[in-house]
Amino acid sequence: MDQKLLLVNAFLLLGFAITCKATTYMVGDNSGWDISTNLDTWAKDKTFNVGDVLVFQYSSSNSVSEVTKENFDSCNTTNVLETYSAGNTTITLKKPGERYFVSGNKLYCLGGMKLHVHVENNQAYAPAGAPQATPGSDQTDFPNPSSKSNNNIPTSTAFSHIGETYSTIVLGFLGLVVSMLWNVIN
């Protein structure tokens, strides 16, 4: 009986570990963080979870600021929570709730260059042994691309099919192993 319980627990643990994955989203996809990008449409069909990463790609003359809802609604770019201006910025969504980002240029913000993200609480985010971010490591600087067409940062959909295929193969393999072990135990 102890072997059966061990087998069931091992299967549950492996299944849980396989389903824990974060997604990296390049804000605006190939257009990046730009006044010409319709960010409302871009974000509309996406579900953001704790652990996901937003990659903002923009020119060195622009910036990204995280703000409160009130400052988001009014495009207040002077009273910000955090400002990023390195050209390319990654922000890990560490907790559930609402996040608001605006362009550092108020005119661009008024023109629609702002992003509201609802972050859902994904309980399966951090399995045991997952690397943890260090305090103050929300921003990672990437070299500025020479043009928007020279975009080497993968978009959010670039690896989605690979992850689904991988999970299906691994779950199929685990099912085979469990059935073989079940026959050995019985």
Taken in order of first residue, the domains within the chain and their CATH numbers are 24-120 (2.60.40.420)
Which is more confidently placed, 2 or 42? 42
Q: What is the CA radius of gyration of the chain?
A: 21
pLDDT for position 165: 42
Residue 160 has pLDDT above 50, yes or no: no
pLDDT for position 97: 94
pLDDT for position 18: 47
Q: Which DSSP string corresponds to 44-94? A: HT--EETT-EEEEE--TT--EEEE-HHHHHHT--SS-SEEE-SSEEEEE--
Please provide the average confidence, as pLDDT, over all residues in the chain.
Answer: 74
The distance in angstroms from the start CA to the end CA of the chain is 10
The Cα 186–Cα 146 span in angstroms is 63
Which is more confidently placed, 18 or 149? 18
User: Which strands make up the sheet holding 88-92, listed edge to edge?
Assistant: 24-26, 53-57, 88-92
Q: Model-level pTM greater than 0.85? A: no
pLDDT for position 75: 95
When pLDDT is cut at 50, 70 and 90, the band that residue 4 belongs to is low
Residue 168 has pLDDT above 80, yes or no: no
In DSSP terms, 88 is beta-bridged to 57
Q: To which H or E segment does residue 165 belong? A: helix 160-185
